[in-house]
Chain A
Amino acid sequence: MPVRPELMEILACPKCKQPVVLSEDQLSIVCDVCRLRFPVRDDIPVMLIDDAESF
């Protein structure tokens, strides 16, 4: 299940603290500044710098 859009307001990149966005497929959370992609597992965003994927 994707993350509820209203909850994106209280999420930020843990590295740069800038706003993050839902990916197009709504399955991950993306920081365009750090170019990091945070996975979502069992509805829970994994907002850990070390677990994020660089793109």
Chain B
Amino acid sequence: MDSKFKNRVREQFGKTAQAYVQAAHFAGGKDLEEAVRLLQPSQDDNMLDVACGGGHTALYFAPLVRQVVASDLTMQMLKKAQEHLAEEGGFDNVVFREADAEDLPFPAGSFTLLTCRIAPHHFPDVPRALREFHRVLRRGGRMAIIDTLLPSDPEIAEFYQSMEQMRDPTHIRAFNEDEWTQMINDSELILHETLVIPKTHDFQEWAKRAGMNREEIQNLNKFFMDAPQKIHDFFKIESFAGEVETYTDQKLLIFASRKEKEKK
């Protein structure tokens, strides 16, 4: 990963680590429930959670698997996640590693389960990260990626990219479902199922969590309010007296696996 960009990501998530760890928003949710249903974790599973952020996915899966290795690019985030985990009952089967998703520090075939939640839109090279996911998964290993879904309508997609980058400059880009399917196939993973899950955001909380100041939030609010009706309808933007209260975007859950060993 480009080291200049990497440092920006570390700065962004270093300053907002506490807010991410505490966000109730990430602690549970339909996406995690669906991931568990599809992945069927068991006590035989050795799991890797890439770009673990506040550690919510690792914590959710910890009682269901043998071990979780949780990796993230940002040390402050890992430390907060580690503290959070200790407060939540201290599972002793979770370990943390500072690592780059595009250069994973694990031997080939180390994991039977891999998750990566709400993170690939920060990766400069998603195909490279997917090749790494393929490498560290054991044959037959299962994987769930959850990320924000880029709308297929170009005008809505452009608004979406702009508003995400106004909020967080380390947002590189989200992908639509066709792009994800192509990237999964190119990385020789087997795509089993995709699910689209709507997610409603409290606008103020969502903006503040990224570390935006008052003026920046006002500008973002204006950007939302000035958007065409089509965009208001798509994101179900709810406002009161000119202030955005909530909007709803979509997450894509991708369930895939690495090929089983071919029988000769």
List chain A positions with a Cβ less than 8 A from chain B.
Answer: 4, 7, 9-15, 17, 19-20, 38, 41-51
Residues of A within 8 A of B6 (CB): 50
Contact sample, A vs B, 28 pairs, CB 8 Å cutoff: A7-B95, A10-B110, A11-B97, A11-B105, A11-B106, A12-B105, A12-B107, A13-B105, A14-B103, A14-B104, A14-B105, A15-B103, A17-B107, A17-B108, A20-B105, A41-B75, A43-B82, A44-B82, A44-B96, A45-B97, A46-B75, A48-B99, A48-B100, A49-B100, A49-B103, A50-B3, A50-B6, A51-B98
Residues of A within 8 A of B75 (CB): 41-42, 44, 46
- The dominant DSSP class at the B interface is mixed
Interface presence of B78 (CB below 8 A): yes
What is the CB-to-nearest-CB distance from B98 to chain A, in angstroms, rounded to a whole number? Answer: 4
Residues of B within 8 A of A14 (CB): 99-100, 103-105
Residues of A within 8 A of B46 (CB): 10
- Give 9 A-B pairs besides A17-B108, A49-B100 with Cβ atoms closer than 8 angstroms: A10-B107, A13-B105, A15-B103, A42-B79, A44-B78, A44-B98, A47-B105, A48-B73, A48-B99
Is the pair A47, B99 in contact by a Cβ cutoff of 8 Å? yes
Q: Nearest CB to that of A29 among chain B residues?
A: B105
What separation, in Å, do the CA atoms of A46 and B97 have in the docked complex? 6
Interface presence of B69 (CB below 8 A): yes
- The dominant DSSP class at the A interface is mixed
What is the CB-to-nearest-CB distance from B110 to chain A, in angstroms, rounded to a whole number? Answer: 5
What separation, in Å, do the CA atoms of A17 and B88 have in the docked complex? 34
What separation, in Å, do the CA atoms of A48 and B95 have in the docked complex? 16
Candidate in A15, A20, A47 with the most chain B CB atoms within 10 angstroms: A47
Q: Nearest CB to that of B3 among chain A residues?
A: A50
What separation, in Å, do the CA atoms of A9 and B3 have in the docked complex? 28
What is the CB-to-nearest-CB distance from A23 to chain B, in angstroms, rounded to a whole number? Answer: 16
Residues of B within 8 A of A48 (CB): 73, 98-100, 103
Q: Indicate with 1 or 0, residue by residue over B5-25, a CB within 8 angstroms of chain A CB atoms.
A: 010000000000000000000
What is the CB-to-nearest-CB distance from B133 to chain A, in angstroms, rounded to a whole number? Answer: 14
What separation, in Å, do the CA atoms of A42 and B79 have in the docked complex? 8
* Nearest 6 CB-CB pairings of A with B: A47-B105, A14-B105, A14-B103, A46-B98, A12-B107, A47-B99
What separation, in Å, do the CA atoms of A49 and B73 have in the docked complex? 11
Is the pair B69, A45 in contact by a Cβ cutoff of 8 Å? no
What is the CB-to-nearest-CB distance from B69 to chain A, in angstroms, rounded to a whole number? Answer: 6
Residues of A within 8 A of B110 (CB): 10
Residues of A within 8 A of B103 (CB): 14-15, 48-49
What separation, in Å, do the CA atoms of A44 and B78 have in the docked complex? 8
What separation, in Å, do the CA atoms of A2 and B77 have in the docked complex? 20
What separation, in Å, do the CA atoms of A10 and B108 have in the docked complex? 9
